[in-house]
Amino acid sequence: MAAKKQKAKTGKAATARNYGYFDDARKEYVLLNPATPIKWCNYVGTLDFGGIVDTTGGTVLCKGDPALNRITKYISQMPASDFKGSTVYICIREKDKSRILSPFVVPTCTIWDKWECRIGLSYTKWIVEGFGLRVKVTVFVPSKSRTLIQDITVENISNKAMEVDVVPVYEFSHFDALKQLTNADWVPQTMTLEAHKESSGHVILEQYAYMKKQYAVNYFTANKPADSFDGDRKAFLGLNEITGWACPYTLHKGKLTNSTALRGDNIAAQMFKFKLARKKSGRVVTQLGQEKSIDAAKSSIKKYRNLKNVDKAFAELTNFWNNYLNALQVATPDASFNSMVNIHNPRQCHTTKYWSRYLSLYQLGFGSDRGIGYRDSSQDLLGVMSHMPEEACLLAENLLSVQLEDGNAMHQYFPSTMEANEGDSREKEDHPKYYGDDHLWIVLTVASYLKETGNLKFLSKSIPFYNKKKDIKHREKGSVLEHLKRSLAFTWKDRGRHGIPHLGFADWNDTVNLPTGAESIFNASLFAKALLEMIDICEAIRDKKLVEQYKKWYEEIKIKVNKTAWDGQWYVRWFDEKGKALGSSKNKVNKIDSLGQSWPIISGIASPERAKIALKSVYNLLNTKNGIKLSWPGYKGFDPHVGGVSTYPPGAKENGGIFLHANPWVMIAETIVGNGDRAFQYYNQINPAARNNGRIDEFESEPYCYPQNILGNEHKQFGLGRNAWLSGTSSWTYQAATQYILGVKATIKGLSINPCVPKSWKEFSIKRKFRGSVYEISVKNPRGVSKGVKSIVIDGREIVGNVLPILPGKKHVVKIVMG
């Protein structure tokens, strides 16, 4: 099956080398080969309740917090073939033997005649055929619910009657996910599973860690009465577990043991028996949820035992996504650009919005060293602002509430407790205990919200500052505006010998940790960009005094950077504690860094001449066919002076790897200087969808989402993608594509239009929801320019300038001519 060519309905062929294809009409990626180079996955639900489902049926599920309230046990380091948190067994009963299969291939190693895994928007659907059966499994979390639905259909496609048992099974984790892995004494003593048999024959399995019983319980049930069940792993697998998940001995007996568990490894398995005549099918829908008690779960259980409600919930999910994606749809001459911008990139932005860097198959959400990242989430929100501004605003409020009174911010916080921490900076003596950039990102986020919605009242909302020593009631409060003012004031005061903002423990690049006193050109540029945003905001609220002050600060930073940081062909990136430059041509390693070029351009610090020279250096020294490297050359061994960056081999991650997050910043910079062809070349280089044809084995990572990094050309595995899904790449590539290449950007006064496209694009169109209306924008480019708007006609009337006014009415037709 794996190597076989399969012809899909859309007519596209998938071979083992490209694993699957994009079905844009259904907004799915269709995987035809389960043996992906590494584990590929999908997200279901949100951080409120949800998690990850991999393509071989493994599930990581949590409610509110993967570290402190985990539900299923998923050990991502295990080989793809192993059971990871969940599976479904299909047992075909024949006279003297039974056949045990799994639609996910794992853990039974079943080879089906046809195997298809449709990775959809917040759901995954498997459709498999073989052994006389067609099996369909769909997994999703209904919007706003706290239950994972698994909808299983078995259809007899053979020419004889069949007896089939369907046995879904989940394995539980202790709610403290790290303890589950580190404590094999206390954890198993507390894990408990009870069974409730209802008079109807339905079974509810109730699971909890003993000390949590009064607060929350997990439950597993179905729409059908169960023939039998198991809650204890040892009983379920049988033979003291020696035949393992691949071949549970008990399943061969045709009946589970009805075990509960007073301790040990808790699972939830139920057996459903089907007698299927030819062409007949059976359906069972399971629910795995968490509520305060089984009583509290009853209404949800009842709701999803009704199959009409299950179908309705699935349809609602589809509606949610259609509505979400409709915020911005494009049609350009480039098909994989359209596919990414219309479906997969905004979808990934939705994922990073909810999961920050907290739970992925790489960032495992164990213990107290992560949580929601301040800078990460501030940037993630920029990627969903046009789609869900009010939801974004709620998260921005949480972020503002972990900002300290002095204007700096805590680096991370735990969503379930709202307790914050200082990130890695806690751990290093003689280094600053704060990050130089965290508090500046939120200025961009709030500005983006205000520009999207026009809701300037938000600036007066009172939000507490974080103070660990005080309980929330006694913390100092300040308006949102006051929070932003303190952000800027913190950096203004915290500058070093060149007048450049201090690095702190780190800036955006987490891995360069220079001793106290170092300065960062990136922090200077981010500060300048934040000042520009604040100037816009203060002009909108007519605070002239602040406008003047911020203009003065901006000019001074601009002068300081240009005076001290220009290296001749590019800007340097840092000054260390002794004033020596890093990212300079004079160095042996780390001669040039991409952020040192993109950000002075994004912030308007670089003059047009310097911008062009710096971007030429990026192209010559940092660009590769797989993306732009963060820096060059890499450190060749551990250097305690710089720290983390030199722990990686050259070409990996921040040490000269293609750190994708930094690529869209160069795209944006190229659009600022008007080079649409180069911006688009950079866009294409890292578009994962464009690798789907035969280039996946080298890349390894999913073709439907951006990974965090690709190994650079100083590394032997050049081209290998790592750390899929949770990366700032998603938000910034989306912004680069929509706001800078297509050039549609929200401003306080309206929608600004300033495309910078490849010269070969003769026309394209954009549908954008904005302040209650839909703007249907079509752009013609008869003279084949990259940049420049010659005329704009809105609803038949020509306007002056390039900002579409906010007009009443549901729809506005906008015709633009470039030239």
* Contact criterion met (CB below 8 Å) for 645 and 511: yes
Number of residues that bind ligand GLC (CB under 6 A): 11
Residue 353 in the binding site for ligand GLC (CB under 6 A) = no
Q: What angle do CA 505, 371, 142 make, to 5 degrees?
A: 150
Stretch of 21-29, 179-187, 461-469, 506-514 contacting ligand GLC, by CB under 6 A = 506-514
**Nearest residue (CB) to ligand GLC, 376 versus 714:** 376
Stretch of 101-109, 166-174, 504-512, 680-688 contacting ligand GLC, by CB under 6 A = 504-512
**Nearest residue (CB) to ligand GLC, 476 versus 639:** 639
* Contact criterion met (CB below 8 Å) for 676 and 759: yes
Instruction: Give the shortest CB-17-to-ligand GLC separation in angstroms.
Output: 30
Instruction: Give the shortest CB-643-to-ligand GLC separation in angstroms.
Output: 12
Q: 566-570, long-range: CB within 8 Å, 24+ apart, which pairs?
A: 566/610, 569/613, 569/614, 569/616, 569/617, 570/596, 570/597, 570/613, 570/614, 570/617, 570/618
Q: Which residues, including other chains, have CB under 8 Å from residue 471's CB and lie 6 or more apart?
A: none
In the beta sheet, which residues pair with residue 203? Answer: 197
- 3-state SS assignment for residue 272: strand
Q: Which two tokens stand for residue 261?
A: 């568990």
Residue 87 in the binding site for ligand GLC (CB under 6 A) = no
Torsional sign, CA 474, 212, 359, 449:
negative
* Tokens 């003596």 belong to residue: 429
Q: 397-401, long-range: CB within 8 Å, 24+ apart, which pairs?
A: 397/461, 397/463, 398/372, 399/374, 399/442, 399/445, 400/442, 400/446, 400/463, 400/480, 400/483, 401/463, 401/464, 401/465, 401/466
Q: Which two tokens stand for residue 734?
A: 């989306």
Which one among 56, 287, 348, 511 touches ligand GLC, defined by CB under 6 A?
Answer: 511
Which one among 136, 179, 344, 357 touches ligand GLC, defined by CB under 6 A?
Answer: 357
Rounded to an integer, what distance in angstroms lies between the CA atom of residue 447 and that of residue 464? 19
- DSSP 8-state symbol, 172: B
Residue 708 in the binding site for ligand GLC (CB under 6 A) = yes
Residue 348 in the binding site for ligand GLC (CB under 6 A) = no
**Nearest residue (CB) to ligand GLC, 67 versus 297:** 67
Q: Residues 361-380 vs ligand GLC: string with x where CB under 6 A?
A: ------------x-xx----
Choose the catalytic residue: 230, 265, 380, 510: 510
Residue 509 in the binding site for ligand GLC (CB under 6 A) = yes
* Tokens 């294409």 belong to residue: 684
Rounded to an integer, what distance in angstroms lies between the CA atom of residue 758 and that of residue 476? 51
Site for ligand GLC in 718-737 (CB under 6 A): 727
**Nearest residue (CB) to ligand GLC, 115 versus 508:** 508
Instruction: Give the shortest CB-508-to-ligand GLC separation in angstroms.
Output: 4
Rounded to an integer, what distance in angstroms lies between the CA atom of residue 752 and that of residue 733? 19
Q: Is 510 a catalytic residue?
A: yes
**Nearest residue (CB) to ligand GLC, 503 versus 753:** 503
Instruction: Give the shortest CB-630-to-ligand GLC separation in angstroms.
Output: 8
Instruction: Give the shortest CB-729-to-ligand GLC separation in angstroms.
Output: 9
Rounded to an integer, what distance in angstroms lies between the CA atom of residue 523 and that of residue 204? 55
Instruction: Give the shortest CB-441-to-ligand GLC separation in angstroms.
Output: 10
**Nearest residue (CB) to ligand GLC, 661 versus 745:** 661
* Contact criterion met (CB below 8 Å) for 125 and 150: no
Q: Residues 298-337 vs ligand GLC: string with x where CB under 6 A?
A: ----------------------------------------
Instruction: Give the shortest CB-126-to-ligand GLC separation in angstroms.
Output: 32
Comparing CA positions, the residue from 637, 598, 638, 625 lying closest to residue 711 is 625
**Nearest residue (CB) to ligand GLC, 69 versus 511:** 511
Residue 654 in the binding site for ligand GLC (CB under 6 A) = yes
Instruction: Give the shortest CB-365-to-ligand GLC separation in angstroms.
Output: 13
**Nearest residue (CB) to ligand GLC, 118 versus 411:** 411
Q: Which residues, including other chains, have CB under 8 Å from residue 474's CB and lie 6 or more apart?
A: none
Instruction: Give the shortest CB-599-to-ligand GLC separation in angstroms.
Output: 13
Q: How many helices (H) and strands (E) does the chain have?
A: 19, 44
Rounded to an integer, what distance in angstroms lies between the CA atom of residue 88 and that of residue 104? 8
Torsional sign, CA 71, 73, 76, 80:
negative
**Nearest residue (CB) to ligand GLC, 250 versus 729:** 729
Instruction: Give the shortest CB-227-to-ligand GLC separation in angstroms.
Output: 47
For ligand GLC, the nearest residue by Cβ is: 510
Residue 136 in the binding site for ligand GLC (CB under 6 A) = no
Q: Residues 758-797 vs ligand GLC: string with x where CB under 6 A?
A: ----------------------------------------
Which one among 229, 337, 508, 550 touches ligand GLC, defined by CB under 6 A?
Answer: 508
Residue 510 in the binding site for ligand GLC (CB under 6 A) = yes
Range 577-595 burial, b when 16+ CB lie within 10 A, else e: beeebbbbeeeebbbbbbb
Residue 445 in the binding site for ligand GLC (CB under 6 A) = no
Rounded to an integer, what distance in angstroms lies between the CA atom of residue 255 and that of residue 99? 14
Q: Where on the chain is the footprint of ligand GLC (CB under 6 A)?
A: 357, 373, 375-376, 508-511, 654, 708, 727
Catalytic sites, residue numbers: 510
